C-alpha cells in the first residue's frame, strides 16, 4: 500500500442501495450495479460533502430502478447528505400521485422540516412523522431516518449530523401494504409534490435500523486516513466512533473481530427474540375513579342520580370486603354459590350437541325464558362443572359418553306425535353437522386433513375475486400452499362481512353480530357445493385413491368409502347402487379420458399417477356421491 493512498471505511452490512454520485448517477442495489437515468435535463455534478454530489434544479431527477421494496413491516434506514436551496422538495421516494393523494414511501423536505411518509391512502391509511427542527438552507447536513417496522410513527428516529432530533407524529393508521409499482426516484416523486432543489450526495438505504453509534459514523464525512492524522484529543466523538468500528471490522486481531461479530449476532438475536413477543392489551383502574350517573332519557348533558358498580339485586351480592371492580366481578361469576354462569354454560354445551338446550331459550334464563325440560339434570351438570374446576373438556366427555347422547335417532310414529321436538330426550336428535365439521370430516376421511395445532390463520380454496367488491387498494385473498390448504377450519382466515362462501352456504355465522346458536337451512346450494367445490372434489379423489388401495373389487372399494364416511356398512341395496354408479362413470370416462384427467386434477395435492385415470375418475364420482349423502353430513 502506497504511503499516499487514502483509507476509508463505511457501514456496508444490510446495505440495500447506494448512490455515491462520484461523477456517475448509477448505483449499487443488493450488491449489484444498476443503471439509472436522469429525467428533465443533463447530469450536473458539483463538489460534495464526500467527493462529488449531484445537483438538482427542481426539474431534473434520477430514476434509479425498482428496488429496494420497503413496506410497513420492514426495518430500514435512509441516509443522505443534503445541501438544500429550497425549503420544500422530495429527497428520495418510491411514490406516485392519484385520486387518493400520494401513495408509497418517501423522504421529504416540508417547509424546512424532514418528513418520512409511508401511505396507502393519504390521511386514511399510512404512517408519517416529521422533525420539529428545520434544516438550514445553503449548508451541507447529513440526514438519517430509521424505521423499525412496527407500523407506527413511534418506530421512527430522525438524526441531523449524527445527533437525534425531536419529531412529531403525523399519521398512525396502517391497514394495508405499500404499493411497489413506482421506481426509486432521487429528487422527485411520481406526484405533484415539488422536486428537490439543491445538492444530494451519498444516498444510502439500509435494510436495518442503524444504532445511534452507527448514525454518528454515517454522518462522519472524514476518511479513516484523515481521522487517523488527527491527535486523539482533537477528534470528535463521531470521528472516534468511526475509527473504533473501522478497527474492529477490519484491522483488529482475528479473535477480537470474531468476538465483536459474536456480540453483534447476540444483539441481533436478542432483538429478534424481543420482537417475537406478542403485545398484550391490559387495563387498569383509573385513579381517581370517575363518577357515573343515570342519564335522563339517555342524554349525556342531563345526568340523574349517582350510580355505583354492582350486580342485579335478584342475584347474590358481590363478595364482601372487596373493591367493586372487574376482579371482584370475575370472582363473583365463578363463585360456586352463583346459580347462573355454570347453568348458562352447560346449557350451551347441551345445545351444541342436541340442537336445543335443556333451557330452550339459551339467551334468556329470566322470567320470560322457558323452564328447563330437565331441571335436576341441569343442576347436576352445573354442579359437576363447578366441582371439576370448570373443566370444559371433562364436561364434553361427560355429555358425549352419556347413554342419552349415544341413543339412536330412530323414532316411532307414536313417540314423534307425543314429543316432536324431543324435549323428553327419549331418542337422539338428527342434526346436520356444522359447516366447519362438514369440511373437516371430508378432509379427514380422505386422508388430507392436517392435524397440526396452532399457528396463524390460513387461506384455503376460495372463488377468484372473492373480495373485489368489498375492499380497495388492491387487497386480494391469498390462497395458502401445501399443508396449510388442509388445516382444520378453525384456522381459516375470516374476513368480516365476507366469510368463506362454502361455510356461509352451510349456515356458518358471518360474525357481524353475536349469536347463541347456529341456524340450519336446507338449500340446493349446499348440494352443489359438495359436488363442485374444489375442496370436496379433491377430497373425493383422495378418498377414491384410498379405496382403490384397500379393495380388490368394486364392491369392496365402494363399501370401504361408505364405511369411512358414515361409520356404517352399506346394505345390499346401497352397495349395489354405488357399484352401478361406478360402472356407469367408468364406461363414460373410458371414452372421455380428457374429461377424466380434468376431474382427477382438481386441487393442489398430487394425484397417484400409477392409477388408471378412467378408473380413478369413476371412483372419485362415487366418492363425491357419498360425501353428499345425508348419512355423511348428518349426525344420527
Tens of pLDDT, residues 250-285:
888 889 889 988 988 898 899 788 878 887 878 777
| Residue predicted with more confidence, 478 or 473 | 478
Nearest to 485 by CA among 512, 459, 455, 514: 459
Question: Does residue 227 have a pLDDT over 60?
Answer: yes
Assess if CATH 3.40.190.10 describes domain 15-253.
no
Give the pLDDT score at 101. 63
* C-beta of residue 71 within 8 angstroms of C-beta of residue 21: no
What local confidence, expressed as pLDDT, does residue 225 receive? Answer: 82
What's this model's pTM, rounded to 2 decimal places?
A: 0.58
Instruction: Please give the C-alpha separations between residue 355 and each of 362, 371, 561, in angstroms, as whole numbers.
Output: 11, 17, 28
| In the block, residue with C-alpha cell 442501495 | 17
Region 587-605: mean pLDDT is: 93
Phi, psi values for residue 431, rounded to 5°: -135, 140
Which of 66-75, 174-183, 224-233, 271-280 is most confident? Answer: 66-75
pLDDT at 74 over 80: yes
In the chain, the percentage of residues whose pLDDT exceeds 70 is: 97
Q: Residue 397: is its pLDDT beyond 90?
A: yes
For the chain, the structural domain boundaries read: 15-253, 339-418, 430-636
DSSP string, 524-570: HHHHHHHHH-HHHHHHHHHHHHHHHHH-SSHHHHHHHHHHHHHSS--
pLDDT of residue 34: 86
Tell me the pLDDT band of 5, cut-offs 50, 70 and 90: low
**DSSP H helical segments within 449-533, as ranges?**
501-505, 524-532
**Residues linked to residue 432 through DSSP beta bridges, in sequence order:** 634
Residue among 96, 93, 84 at smallest CA distance from 116 = 93
Mean pLDDT along residues 152-175:
90
**Better pLDDT: 471 or 481:** 481
* Burial grade of 563 (CB within 10 A; 0-12, 13-18, 19 or more): middle
Asked which of 127-141, 233-247, 256-270, 536-550 is least confident by mean pLDDT, the reply is 233-247
CA 372 to CA 388: how far, in whole Å?
23
Q: Look at residue 84 in the predicted model and tell me its pLDDT.
A: 95
Q: What mean pLDDT is reported for the chain?
A: 88
At 99 the pLDDT is 58
What percent of the chain stands above pLDDT 90?
A: 48
pLDDT at 98 over 70: no
pLDDT of residue 1: 43
> Residue 60's closest CA among 185, 211, 235, 232?
185
Q: Cβ distance 17 to 203 under 8 Å? A: yes
Give the residue from 37, 23, 18 showing the smallest Cα distance to 185: 37
Residue 11 has what pLDDT? 79
CA angle 548, 550, 555 (to 5 degrees): 70
pLDDT bucket at 82, cuts 50 / 70 / 90: very high
**496 pLDDT higher than 80:** no
The contacts of residue 311 (CB under 8 Å, 6+ apart) are: 317, 318, 329, 332
pLDDT score of 387: 94
**Parallel/antiparallel/unpaired status of strands 141-147 and 61-63:** unpaired
Average pLDDT over residues 230-240: 83
Render pLDDT for 347-379 as a digit per residue (tens, 0 to 9).
999 998 888 899 998 888 877 888 999 999 999
User: Does the pLDDT of residue 310 top 80, yes or no?
Assistant: yes
Q: Residue 635: pLDDT band by 50, 70, 90 thresholds? A: confident
> How sure is the predictor about 2, in pLDDT bands with cuts at 50, 70 and 90?
very low
Q: Is the pLDDT of residue 287 over 70?
A: yes
pLDDT on residue 243:
83
Could you identify the residue written with the cell 339517555? 298
What band does 32 get if pLDDT is binned at 50, 70 and 90?
A: confident
Q: How confident is the model at residue 302 (pLDDT cuts 50, 70, 90)?
A: very high
Per-residue pLDDT for 480 more than 50? yes
User: Which one has a higher pLDDT value, 497 or 107?
Assistant: 107
For the cut 90, the answer to whether the pLDDT of residue 485 exceeds it is yes
- For residue 513, pLDDT over 60 is answered with yes
Mean pLDDT computed over 416-426: 90
Amino acid at each position: 500500500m502506497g504511503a499516499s493512498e487514502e483509507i476509508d471505511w463505511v457501514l456496508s452490512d444490510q446495505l440495500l442501495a447506494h448512490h455515491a454520485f462520484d461523477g456517475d448517477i448509477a448505483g449499487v442495489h443488493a450488491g449489484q450495479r444498476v443503471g439509472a437515468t436522469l429525467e428533465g435535463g443533463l447530469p450536473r455534478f458539483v463538489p460534495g460533502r464526500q467527493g462529488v454530489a449531484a445537483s438538482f434544479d427542481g426539474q431534473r431527477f434520477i430514476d434509479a430502478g425498482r428496488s429496494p421494496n420497503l413496506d410497513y413491516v420492514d426495518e430500514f434506514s435512509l441516509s443522505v447528505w443534503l445541501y438544500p436551496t429550497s425549503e420544500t422538495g422530495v429527497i428520495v421516494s418510491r411514490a406516485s400521485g392519484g385520486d387518493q393523494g400520494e401513495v408509497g414511501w418517501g423522504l421529504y423536505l416540508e417547509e424546512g422540516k424532514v418528513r418520512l411518509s409511508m401511505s396507502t391512502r393519504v390521511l386514511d391509511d399510512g404512517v408519517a412523522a416529521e422533525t420539529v427542527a428545520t434544516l438550514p438552507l445553503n449548508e451541507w447536513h447529513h440526514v438519517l431516518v430509521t424505521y423499525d417496522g412496527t407500523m407506527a410513527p413511534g418506530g421512527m428516529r430522525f438524526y441531523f449530523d449524527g445527533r437525534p432530533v425531536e419529531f412529531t407524529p403525523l399519521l398512525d393508521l396502517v391497514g394495508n401494504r405499500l404499493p411497489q409499482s413506482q421506481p426509486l426516484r432521487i429528487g422527485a416523486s411520481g406526484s405533484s409534490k415539488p422536486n428537490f432543489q439543491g445538492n444530494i450526495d451519498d444516498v444510502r438505504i439500509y435494510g436495518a435500523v442503524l444504532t445511534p453509534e452507527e448514525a454518528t459514523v454515517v454522518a462522519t464525512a472524514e476518511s479513516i486516513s484523515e481521522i487517523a492524522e488527527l491527535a486523539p484529543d482533537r477528534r470528535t466523538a463521531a470521528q472516534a466512533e468511526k475509527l473504533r468500528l473501522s478497527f474492529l471490522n477490519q484491522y483488529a486481531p482475528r479473535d477480537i473481530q470474531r468476538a465483536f461479530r459474536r456480540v453483534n449476532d447476540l444483539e441481533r438475536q436478542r432483538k429478534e427474540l424481543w420482537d417475537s413477543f406478542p403485545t398484550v392489551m391490559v387495563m387498569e383502574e383509573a385513579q381517581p375513579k370517575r363518577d357515573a350517573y343515570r342519564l335522563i332519557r339517555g342524554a349525556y348533558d342531563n345526568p340523574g342520580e349517582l350510580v355505583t358498580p354492582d350486580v342485579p339485586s335478584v342475584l347474590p351480592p358481590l363478595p364482601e370486603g372487596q373493591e367493586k371492580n372487574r376482579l371482584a366481578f370475575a370472582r363473583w361469576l365463578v363463585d360456586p354459590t352463583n346459580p347462573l354462569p355454570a347453568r348458562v354454560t352447560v346449557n350451551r354445551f347441551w345445545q351444541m350437541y342436541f340442537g336445543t338446550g335443556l333451557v330452550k331459550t339459551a339467551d334468556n334464563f329470566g322470567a320470560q325464558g322457558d323452564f328447563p325440560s330437565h331441571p335436576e339434570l341441569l343442576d347436576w351438570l352445573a354442579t359437576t362443572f363447578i366441582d371439576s374446576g370448570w373443566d370444559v373438556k371433562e364436561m364434553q366427555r361427560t355429555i358425549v359418553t352419556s347413554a342419552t347422547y349415544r341413543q339412536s335417532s330412530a323414532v316411532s310414529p307414536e313417540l314423534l306425535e307425543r314429543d316432536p321436538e324431543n324435549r323428553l330426550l327419549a331418542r337422539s336428535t338428527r342434526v346436520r353437522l356444522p359447516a366447519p365439521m362438514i369440511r373437516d370430516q371430508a378432509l379427514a376421511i380422505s386422508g388430507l386433513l392436517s392435524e397440526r395445532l396452532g399457528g396463524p390463520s390460513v387461506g384455503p380454496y376460495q372463488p377468484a375475486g372473492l373480495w373485489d367488491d368489498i375492499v380497495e387498494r388492491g387487497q386480494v385473498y391469498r390462497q395458502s400452499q401445501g399443508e396449510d390448504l388442509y388445516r382444520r377450519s378453525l384456522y381459516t382466515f375470516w374476513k368480516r362481512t365476507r366469510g368463506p362462501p362454502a361455510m356461509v352456504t352451510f349456515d356458518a355465522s358471518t360474525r357481524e353480530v353475536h349469536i347463541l346458536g347456529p341456524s340450519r337451512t336446507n338449500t340446493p346450494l349446499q348440494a352443489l357445493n359438495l359436488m363442485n367445490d374444489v375442496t370436496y372434489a379433491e377430497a373425493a379423489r383422495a378418498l377414491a385413491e384410498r379405496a382403490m388401495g384397500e379393495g380388490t373389487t368394486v364392491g369392496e372399494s365402494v363399501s370401504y368409502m361408505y364405511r369411512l364416511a358414515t361409520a356404517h356398512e352399506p346394505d345390499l341395496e346401497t352397495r349395489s347402487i354405488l357399484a352401478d354408479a361406478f360402472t356407469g362413470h367408468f364406461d363414460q370416462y373410458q371414452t372421455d379420458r380428457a374429461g377424466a384427467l380434468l376431474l382427477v386434477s382438481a386441487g393442489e395435492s398430487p394425484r397417484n399417477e400409477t392409477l388408471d385415470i378412467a378408473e380413478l375418475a369413476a371412483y372419485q364420482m362415487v366418492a363425491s356421491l357419498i360425501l353428499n349423502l345425508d348419512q355423511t353430513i348428518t349426525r344420527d
